[in-house]
């Protein structure tokens, strides 16, 4: 059985998918673009965009009763690998202690010309 997780504090899905799905004690958060749910705008620069993507992820996790400490795996999609260091500095500040497993990829393009998109899997 699966449960849809949705937070009004994070931007709504821009396609036929859910912000997150919970199944068997795991929460699968869809890729979060750096869109501010209040304004619909995207900040400029990799650091600000990384922060916004992770804040969106935090809001969705909170809706499921979880925190960043529950995250076991992330996938980071970058517009270009030259942005990795800027993303990594902000990313590190969102986790305390044992970091989740992570993959990071450069992709040809991201929706809405974002510089970063981050998805995660969290466990209860």
Confidence tier at 13 by pLDDT (50, 70, 90): confident
Q: What is the pLDDT of residue 97?
A: 83
- Which CATH class, in words, describes the domain spanning 2-123? alpha beta
Over the stretch 66-107, which tens digit does the pLDDT of each residue have? 999 999 999 999 999 999 999 999 999 999 889 999 999 999
Let me know how many helices (H) and strands (E) the chain has, helices first.
2, 6
Domain ranges (residues) in the chain: 2-123
User: Which three-class secondary structure state does DSSP give residue 95?
Assistant: coil
Q: Decide if pLDDT at 45 tops 90.
A: yes
Q: Which residues contact 75 (CB under 8 A, 6 or more apart)?
A: 31, 102, 103, 104, 105, 118, 119, 120
What is the maximum span of the chain, computed from C-alpha positions, in angstroms? 41
CB 113 within 8 A of CB 34: no
Q: What is the pLDDT of residue 114?
A: 98
């Amino acid at each position: 059985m699966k449960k849809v997780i949705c937070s009004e504090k994070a931007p709504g899905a821009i396609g036929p998918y859910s912000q997150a799905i919970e199944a068997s004690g795991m929460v699968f958060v869809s890729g979060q673009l750096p869109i501010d749910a209040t304004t619909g705008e995207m900040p400029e620069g990799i650091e600000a965009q990384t922060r916004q993507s992770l804040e969106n992820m935090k809001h969705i996790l909170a809706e499921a009763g979880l925190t960043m400490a529950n995250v076991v795996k992330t996938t980071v999609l970058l517009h270009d690998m030259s942005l990795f260091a800027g993303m990594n500095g902000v990313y590190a500040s969102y986790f305390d202690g044992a970091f989740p497993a992570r993959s990071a990829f450069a992709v040809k393009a991201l929706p809405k010309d974002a510089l970063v998109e981050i998805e995660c899997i969290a466990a209860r």
